[in-house]
Amino acid sequence: MVSHSVAGAETRFPLLRLPIILAAVVAMLAATMLSAAPARAQTGFHEVQDFGSNPGNLKMFAYVPEQAQSGAPVVVLFHGCGGAAQDLDVNTGWRKYADAYGFTIVFPEQKDENVGSGGIVPHKCFSAWNPADRTRDGQGEARSVVQMVDYMKANHAADASRVYATGYSGGGAATNVMLAAYPDVFKAGAVFFGMAYGCADTEADYFDTGLLAQCPGAINSLTPRQWGDKIRSAYPGYTGARPRVQIWHGGSDLLINRNSLEKQRDGWTDVFGVSQTPASTSRPALGVTQQVYGSGQVETYLISSMGHEAPVDPGIGIDKCGTIGQGHDSLCGPYYAAGFFGLDN
C-alpha cells in the first residue's frame, strides 16, 4: 500500500485548481477592460434621454451620420407649430447634407403638455413669446436646447465653435430666440418663414389674427433700432461676437406676411450696426431674390411664389434636396444655408 504525504497533497491540489484560478483571472481582466472601454456613441436617428435638467421640458432627438468624426459641427433643427422631429431632416433636405458634410443634427421637440395653457388649442409651438423660454436668464426652453448642445459636445466630441441653428415657421421664431439669447453658443442661423424676436409677448398675441400682418398692434411700426433693442434684451450687456443670420420667406405666404423678413432684417442689421440697404442683390433662381447686408452678417432670400412652406428642390445633385410634395420646388434651402454656415468646406 502506497501512502501519500501531506507535502504531496499540497503539491498536487494547487495544480488541479490552477485552470479554475486562471479562468477566474481572465474573466476579471475582461470585465475590467469592458467597463473601462468607452461606450460607442449612438448613430442614426434616435431619441436622447437624460440630456440635462431640461427646465423647458422638451424632448431631444439626434441624427448622427455613421461617418461623423470627432469634432463634427452641430446643427439644431426646430420643427414648426404642430410638427415633430421625425423625418423633418429628410423632408426638408437637412439629412442629405449631414451625410455629405459630416455634421450632426439635434432636434428639439415640443410636448403637447407644454402648450395650450392660455386657452389656445394645443399647437406644439416653441414658446417664443415667454420671457422664461426666450431669454438668457430664463430657465426654460432655450436653456433646454443649450443642454442638448452640451450633450453633443460631451458624448460626440462636437466642435463647440461650430454650432448652428435653423427652423421652420414657429421653429424659425425659436431659431431667432437661440441666436439672440445665446450668441456665444451659436455661430450662425437660418430662419425659414419665421417671426422676429419679440414679435409677441403673450401666447394670445402670438396667435392673434394681427399676426397675418406680422406681429399684433403697434409692434408693426417699430423702428430698426427698436427691433434691435428687443434682440439685445435677450442677453443684456452682451458685447461679444454675434451669430450671422440668414432669413428666408415666401412672397405668397398667407400665414406669416413677407413683412416678417423685413422686421427680422431690421433688427439683426441694427444689432450688427450695418445699413438696412443691401450691399448686393442677386437672383440665384427664377423668382428668387437674394440680398446681402453689411459684409455678409445678414442675408435674405425672398421666393416670390412660395407660400408658408419649406424651399426644396428634389433631385440627386449636391444642390438638390428634400422630399417631393413636402415643400415649394424652387431651390434647396438647406444647401444654401449649409454653405452660409460654412459646412460645405
The amino acid that residue 31 corresponds to is A
Give the cell for residue 203.
401666447
Vertex 275: Cα angle to 272 and 280 (nearest 5): 110
Helix, coil or strand: residue 267: helix
282 is catalytic: no
Q: Taking Cα atoms as reference points, which of 301, 306, 334 lies closest to residue 320?
A: 334
CA distance 253 to 251: 6
Vertex 202: Cα angle to 201 and 204 (nearest 5): 140
Identify how many contiguous H helices and E strands the chain contains and give both numbers.
10, 12
Please check whether residue 266 is in contact with residue 276, taking contact to mean a CB–CB distance below 8 angstroms. yes
Exposed/middle/buried for residue 96 (C-beta within 10 Å: 0-12, 13-18, 19+): buried
The length of the chain in residues reads 345
Please check whether residue 214 is in contact with residue 256, taking contact to mean a CB–CB distance below 8 angstroms. yes
Strands of the sheet containing 163-168, edge to edge, are 44-48, 59-64, 104-109, 74-78, 163-168, 188-192, 244-250, 298-303, 288-293, 280-285
Which residue out of 35, 70, 161, 169 is catalytically annotated? 169
Give the position of cell 415643400. 327
Residue 105, H or E segment: strand 104-109
Q: Would you name the residues annotated as active-site residues? A: 169
